[in-house]
Amino acid sequence: MERIVVHDVGLRDGLQIEEQTVPTERKLQWLAQLAASGLDMIQVGSFVNPKRLPQMADTDELFRRLAASGAKRPGVIYTGLVLNEKGLERALACGVGYVCMGVSASDTHSRHNTGMGTIEATGRIIEMGRQALAAGVGVQLSVQSAFGCGFEGPVPADRVIGIARQFLDAGLTTISLADTAGHGNPGQVEALFGALAALGGGVSMACHFHDTYGMGLANVYAAWRAGVTCFESSFGGLGGCPFTAVASGNVCTEDLVHVLQRMDLRRDISLAALSDVAKDAAAFFGRDLPGRVHRTGPIPDHGKAAS
C-alpha cells in the first residue's frame, strides 16, 4: 500500500472565506505548529488579487519569511495555489517549490471563480502547468466541482474525466478531484476515482472534499478504497470556496487524521499538535469551529483486544 499523504490547506482554503484577517505572525506560528505535527504538505496561501481576497494578501511575504528564516521543516512540502499567469509569476519569484492549480468542471463556477469559462481555463492552466514543471516546480492540477455544482447541479462524469485526460496528455500526472460544493456521495466518489485511475498514464490521485452536507469523511473513505493516496483537509474544519453557491468548511484535518489512526494509518502524525492549532484558531475567531476531535479528544487507545 502506498503511503497516505495529508495536505493541510487551512491557511488558504480555510482562511479565504474569513472576514477577520489573520496577522502574518499568527499564520507563521500556525505554519510552524502544523509542520511540527508531522503533516506531509501545507498550503501556505494563494497568489490571487489581494483586493479580491484580502486574507491572502501576505502569501508572497509568508513564503519569503519561511525561506529567509530557515523555518521550513525538512520533509514538509509547502504549497501555493495559483489561478492565473500573474499568480504563477509571483509564486516562482518568491521560491514556491510546489504549485496547485485547478479548472472547474462547472462553467458557471469557473466564471465566478476565475472570470473564464471551463474551456479557456483548461488551456491556460495546462500551459501554466508546463511552465511550472519546466522551472523545476512540483505541480498538482485539480478538477473543481467534480462531484456537482451549487449553481448547475449535477456535473457529468465524462466532463470531469475529459479534463483529467487533457492534463495527463500534457504530462501533468498529479490530479486532484475536488468536491467544491460538497455534493459528492461515497458511491459517486469511488466510481469517479475508479474512472480516473483507469486512464493510466502514471496518474497520482488526490482528493479535496467539503463537508457541506455531512458526507466529507465518508467520501474520504470511498476515495481511499478507490486508490487515492493524497488527502486535502483544513485544521478545525475551516473554510469553503467563497465563489460557490453554498460555502462550507473542508474536511477537518484532526478528524481525518483520527480516522486514519483508527485504521492503523499515519500514527506518526500528532493529533495533539493539530488540535492545538484548531483550538488557537477557534480562540482567535471567537467561535467554535466545525471540527470535532479538537473538542472531544481522540478515542482512547487502550490497545488491541486479545484475539
Query: Are 39 and 76 contacting, i.e. CB atoms less than 8 angstroms apart?
Result: yes
d(CA 183, CA 226): 18
Catalytic one among 100, 149, 207, 241? 241
Q: Parallel, antiparallel, or unpaired for β 138-144 and 98-104?
A: parallel
DSSP H helices in 10-156: 24-36, 59-69, 85-93, 107-114, 118-134
d(CA 299, CA 262): 9
Q: How far is CA 156 from the centre of its chain?
A: 22
How many CB atoms sit inside 10 A of residue 23's CB? 10
Residues 6+ apart with CB under 8 A from 9: 43, 208, 232, 233, 234, 239, 250
Active site residue 252: no
Active site residues: 241
